Structure 1
Amino acid sequence: MTWPTVTVNQVNQLLGETTEVERTLLFIGSGTVNVGKTLAVNAQSDFDELLGADDSPLKSDVMAAQANAGQNWWAFIHVLDDEEAQESAWVDAVMAAQLVCSVEGVVLCDDIISKTQINQAATLRANLIAKYGRWVWFILAVQGMQEDESQADYLERLATIQDGAAEKSVQLVPRIWGNEPGVLAGRLCSRAVTIADSPARVKTGALVSLGSDELPLDGAGRTVEVATLQALEAKRFSVPMWYPDYAGFYWSDGRTLDVEGGDYQTIETVRIVDKAARRVRLLAIAKIADRSLNSTPGSIAAHQTYFSKPLREMSTAANINGVSFPGEVKPPQDGDVSIVWKTTKAVDIYIVVRIYETPLTITISLLLDASLENAA
């Protein structure tokens, strides 16, 4: 016999929203106030109180980031002791800050002068993924031109810093105007565009708070030339630029230290795949030991839809007054999610992320029609 009972279970389908870490950065630099602390800041923060009344690269970068990010900007700051600035203390600070904040990117405001910090950033990304399942990219400030240094000498010196380095998550940003690391950081955090948009996007607006109102001078007294910036960009540095007869300064591209021919030579592709990785990981954790994920055709079809959810959300587009605003990625197609069972307890899932094209090189050809037939 069976005793009459009623059991009611509240099933969590895990269909809710996830916390967005995109557009939230951690700024690290030397200072004398709040040393060793991780501070949460936004546009209403008093930076003179938090970072001291004196100017510093950290304070200038943070304020430049705020100015370029626009509405609803917020971030975290960790202040290092001056004597620790060029050591590995910044790595320890990032790891310690994981208890306080989860961020998309880290900005090292103390200028690097060698490959040491590049290698540290590469190792740090690997450790963050291994320990916390957090995908983080980096902006590393690079020392600007010195008083007796010509543009040619500067190019030669900087070429040695990145030579041989290979890390898709690292951007090197020289301080030619002064505040470029913060300017780029703010531009990447702008909510007027998506994370899939290049910082080179002109419609985002001109750069502000670069650090100098005039074109910088090198050690020989010559103004910085576009050719010099172009050469730096070719050497995988991320720099501003300008267009003749077009007012304002703009960004060239968010170049990373990915290898030649790599898929992640620009920061927007890194950000897209990082975001997808964060969301797919959460979906996968929820399926641990869940027997609804199995090798039957019905289960595979259902979980192809399940694991493509982040791509469907990221592909949401809008059409306003006949103008299309694409999503962060293209909508997933049939077959973009492939599920392969290796054993009865191990499954491999392959996901294709399709990105939109970005017109960074535009060629226009004009044709003249002088035929008599069309004169009328």
Structure 2
Amino acid sequence: MAQGKVSVAAVQTGSGAIKEVERTVLVIGEAPANNGVIQAINAQSDFDSLFGEADSQLKTQLKAWQRNGDDLVSGYAISHGAGENILELIDKAMEQDISPEVIAICTPVTGKAEVEAYQAKNLEILNKYARYVRTLVAAPGLDGTQTWSELVTALQPLIDGVVGNRVAVVPLLFGDELGGVLGRLCKRSVTIADSPMRVLTGSMSLMPLPEDSSGNPLTNATTLTLDSLRFSCTQFYSDFDGVYFGDVNMLDAEGGDFQRIETGRILDKASRAVRIIAIQQIKNRRLNNSTSGIEFGKRVMGRPLRDMSKSVNIGADKFPGLIDAPKDDSITLTFMDARTLHVMLKVRPIDSPNTVLANIMLDDVE
């Protein structure tokens, strides 16, 4: 004897959205009010009420971030007093589940050890929290007595010989370009694959053009020299209005893959998404050492790469995705033993020129 039974269950496939970390910032700097408090900030924030009405390093960079970003910029900020331990403030944010893409340090570094400490902190965050974070650090600008040449000489030892593929150092030549480039990196009119050097992103809104102690204005001669030393600087184009930025130079080793911030941002985005999918596949028997199991694994593990490669067409114009579309060999799955799966993914960025050489000749063919 029997009676009919029916049960319907909603099956979890792990195909939902993943929280976006990209363009979220954590800005830390000196200010007189609310020291040590983690404040949520966005394009509409009133920094005078949050951090005091007096001028401060933190407010200077945050206002530049607001101006050079867009109406959707968002993140967190922590103010501190003179001499406070900034690394401890970063730890505090991490412990409270703040997960930024970029940390900006507004207090200029004074020695190589500080730069190396920020790289070490990034690696600690990666290993402890599996958070892929990059840090932009301010370096001193003119002190009022220096010429541009003297400033370059003073800055060079700060990063000479430093290897830190998650750290970039921005000299405060104008005084607020750290916040300026941070806002540029957060704009949604461009992608995380776009360089801050991109001219069509628009001119930057910064403080007035600086002059050294001899009255000489900042020129490309100084910024090019600093760029060659791996600092990240503004730049100009002759007979072309506006102030622009060069590469954000990560302090990767010579020949390293991650010398430009946009390359690292792409890999970090893919890593965040693949990690979530990998967690979801723990003990999923559909992912097994058979032909169908391997194909299933390639399909689910490769989804972030396919999503990142999607382009947008507007009429005849094509705006490329973050990366080239993955190929058959872009994803490889190998079972090392019955319980250990090794996944290898290859990501190909889309190139864009930073040097354009044009030659024009007469067409005098009769």
CA contact (8 A) 1:38 1:100 kept: no
Query: Which position in structure 1 is the counterpart of 2:183?
Result: 186
> How far is 1:217 from its partner?
1.2
**For residues 4 and 345 of structure 1, what CA distance do their matches in structure 2 show?**
40
Tell me which amino acid in the other structure corresponds to 1:118. Answer: V
Tell me which amino acid in the other structure corresponds to 2:143. Answer: Q
Matched, 1:257 2:286: no
> How far is 1:4 from its partner?
6.2
Query: Which position in structure 2 is the counterpart of 1:94?
Result: 90
Any idea what the Cα deviations from partners look like across 1:135-159, whole Å, max 9, x if unmatched?
0001100000222212222112211
SS in 1 for 2:361: coil
Query: Which position in structure 1 is the counterpart of 2:60?
Result: 60
In structure 2, do the counterparts of structure 1 residues 235 and 2 end up closer, same or farther at CA, with 3 Å as the change threshold?
farther
> How far is 1:311 from its partner?
0.8
CA RMSD of aligned residues (A): 1.4
Tell me which amino acid in the other structure corresponds to 2:256. Answer: G
Query: Which position in structure 2 is the counterpart of 1:282?
Result: 276
Matched, 1:305 2:299: yes
In structure 2, do the counterparts of structure 1 residues 83 and 113 end up closer, same or farther at CA, with 3 Å as the change threshold?
closer
Q: 1:357 aligns with which of 329, 340, 351?
A: 351
Compare 157-166 and 271-280 and name the one that shifted more.
Answer: 157-166
> How far is 1:5 from its partner?
4.8
Query: Which position in structure 2 is the counterpart of 1:50?
Result: 50
Any idea what the Cα deviations from partners look like across 1:316-356, whole Å, max 9, x if unmatched?
11111211101111111111000111111111100000100
Query: Which position in structure 2 is the counterpart of 1:120?
Result: 117
Tell me which amino acid in the other structure corresponds to 2:122. Answer: R
Query: Which position in structure 1 is the counterpart of 2:102?
Result: 105
CA contact (8 A) 1:22 1:275 kept: yes
- Segments of structure 1 that go 5 or more residues without pairing to the other structure are none
Query: Which position in structure 1 is the counterpart of 2:323?
Result: 329
Query: Which position in structure 2 is the counterpart of 1:199?
Result: 196
Structural mapping, 1:123-134, within 5 Å: 123-134=120-131
Matched, 1:220 2:217: no
SS in 2 for 1:342: strand
**For residues 108 and 351 of structure 1, what CA distance do their matches in structure 2 show?**
33
**For residues 135 and 362 of structure 2, what CA distance do their matches in structure 1 show?**
49
Q: 1:296 aligns with which of 285, 290, 293?
A: 290
> How far is 1:225 from its partner?
2.1
**For residues 216 and 207 of structure 1, what CA distance do their matches in structure 2 show?**
15
Q: 1:266 aligns with which of 260, 265, 269?
A: 260
Query: Which position in structure 1 is the counterpart of 2:27?
Result: 27
CA contact (8 A) 1:196 1:328 kept: yes
Question: How many residues are treated as equivalent by the alignment?
Answer: 365
CA contact (8 A) 1:31 1:56 kept: yes
SS in 1 for 2:108: strand
**For residues 290 and 92 of structure 1, what CA distance do their matches in structure 2 show?**
39
Query: Which position in structure 2 is the counterpart of 1:13?
Result: 13
Tell me which amino acid in the other structure corresponds to 1:258. Answer: D
CA contact (8 A) 1:32 1:82 kept: no
Query: Which position in structure 2 is the counterpart of 1:37?
Result: 37
> How far is 1:116 from its partner?
2.2
**For residues 133 and 3 of structure 1, what CA distance do their matches in structure 2 show?**
51
Tell me which amino acid in the other structure corresponds to 1:277. Answer: S
> How far is 1:2 from its partner?
8.4
**For residues 187 and 321 of structure 1, what CA distance do their matches in structure 2 show?**
27
Matched, 1:230 2:229: no
Scaled by the length of structure 2, what TM-score is found? 0.97
> How far is 1:96 from its partner?
1.3
CA contact (8 A) 1:236 1:256 kept: yes
**For residues 123 and 163 of structure 1, what CA distance do their matches in structure 2 show?**
17
SS in 1 for 2:153: helix
**For residues 174 and 297 of structure 2, what CA distance do their matches in structure 1 show?**
51
Tell me which amino acid in the other structure corresponds to 1:40. Answer: A
Query: Which position in structure 2 is the counterpart of 1:346?
Result: 340
**For residues 46 and 70 of structure 2, what CA distance do their matches in structure 1 show?**
17
